[in-house]
Amino acid sequence: MNGQKRNGPAKGGTAKGDTAKTGTAPAAAPVTAEDVRVGERVVVTVKRLGINGEGVGYYKRKAVFIPGALPDEVVHAAVTHVEPSFLHAELQRIEKRSPHRKEPECPVYEACGGCQLQHMAYAGQLQAKEALVREAFDRYARVADLTIRPIIGMEEPWGYRNKAQLQVGFEQGRVITGLYAAGSHKLIDIAGCRVQHPAINRAVAEVAAVVRELRIPVYDERKRTGCLRTVVARIALATGALQLTLITATGELPQQDRLVAAIRKRVPQVAAIAHNVNAGKTPLVFGDTTRLLWGAERLDETLGDVRLSLSPRAFFQLNPAQTIPLYRAAQEAAALTGRELVVDAYCGSGAIGLWLAPHAREVRGIEAIPEAVRDAKRNAAHSGAANVTFYEGQAEKLLPEWIRAGVRPDVVVVDPPRTGCDRRLLDAIAAAKPQRLVYVSCNPSTLAKDCRVLLDAGFRIEWVQPVDMFPQTSHVECTVLLKAKGRE
């Protein structure tokens, strides 16, 4: 799993060993001038990994995306979808096997979809992710002699996720927790997930057992009946304390007192139990109403020297161990001396701004989500950061207003969603011309596209630092230093 919600596709067709599951191809139909047909069997040499972890090769001048195939493999695949410039295909057989191919460690790897690269040795994953970053910049930013530093990986690429958001279901007389298979309503039980912190797995298993014993109605997504729909568990790595949130489709939580007492008895490290109501038919995990059932209102956590206080819905990085090198790279890029004004756009709950605050004159964070701004202000108070102020609003609107008022930031930090920065924000940054722009990204493609806009606006890229935040998945994060020409 990756991020706070699943972003990658399911791994249908992922090979185990030298062969893969073979699906039934749709009836063949002519579609292009090259006469490539759905159902056609093709032989492809895989060149690289795509952004979603699929193997990418070429056939009749078209890119071919093959889930489960690895770089340097020669594979036989069946075409499943045809577009003018690319094809999708299902892996059938591996003719030449990658030395990095391995047996996935998770028994439900192919069905779950939360990970995309468990069939690849970790050293190979790091090589492929570094290549993915380089490919994105070659394609979208078109920069010669770009400095891409070696990717920062993990010594132990398992058990790193500090938070789980798992749907609840009922299967063969037992309560299960897991993720829905991509494109379906089938819930996959991921008990014992290898990328989750072991304490989270144990806690969720105990909650499921208590729910079954107390016969609390489990929500049925198809029928829209029942009550309990999601269990969210988060661990504070600094203390080992757990925060549990039970999300229901109804306003009431049946047998609330007995449920809380049983969880406290069976999960002794639990520090807080909350109840959130999400009655809508929505892909969003949380609803608007959260109330504390027992324990602390917030979970205390640390990130380096930054102290954080996390409410049940507060965002926090899912891999704190790798967040530290990511933020250290941002700190290096900012090169603060104590005299700078730093603007942290898309500041979320304030972690990057608070990380930089001890080295800056002033930090201003901007965030559009009101709850995140409230969390950021609490975190600033918790960390004793008196030189940090957080503003609610859109960065693409506030930053131009500040510039017109004569405010000129020395350093701008952006950490946008996967879709990248709003073009209006990029234009505002170009107008402000900060001496340094620190771009933290979770999507190499949108990062490179945004960098192209900034290059055209008079910036230059100094270096790119990839960080593997989510081992076993296709995702890679980067910190990039850009400088405004003429402000060195």
Compute the CA torsion angle 113, 443, 230, 218 (nearest 10 deg).
-40
d(CA 229, CA 247) in angstroms, rounded, equals 6
Half-sphere exposure of 290 (CA within 13 A, CB side): 20
SS3 278: coil
Mention every residue, 6+ apart, whose C-beta is less than 8 A from residue 471.
122, 125, 153, 154, 157, 158, 160, 195
Beta strand 299-303 with 306-310 is: antiparallel
SS3 138: helix
Type of residue numbered 367: E
SS3 223: coil
Q: Where are the alpha helices (DSSP H) in 164-251?
A: 198-213
d(CA 486, CA 488) in angstroms, rounded, equals 6
Task: Identify which of 299, 348, 297, 359 has the alpha carbon closest to the alpha carbon of residue 323.
Answer: 348
Identified catalytic residue from 227, 347, 442, 478: 442
Q: 318 with 4: CB under 8 angstroms?
A: yes
Q: Is 442 a catalytic residue?
A: yes
d(CA 151, CA 133) in angstroms, rounded, equals 10
Mention every residue, 6+ apart, whose C-beta is less than 8 A from residue 448.
136, 137, 139, 140, 141
d(CA 86, CA 31) in angstroms, rounded, equals 12
d(CA 6, CA 475) in angstroms, rounded, equals 11
Mention every residue, 6+ apart, whose C-beta is less than 8 A from residue 173.
none
d(CA 273, CA 102) in angstroms, rounded, equals 40
Q: Which residues are catalytic?
A: 442
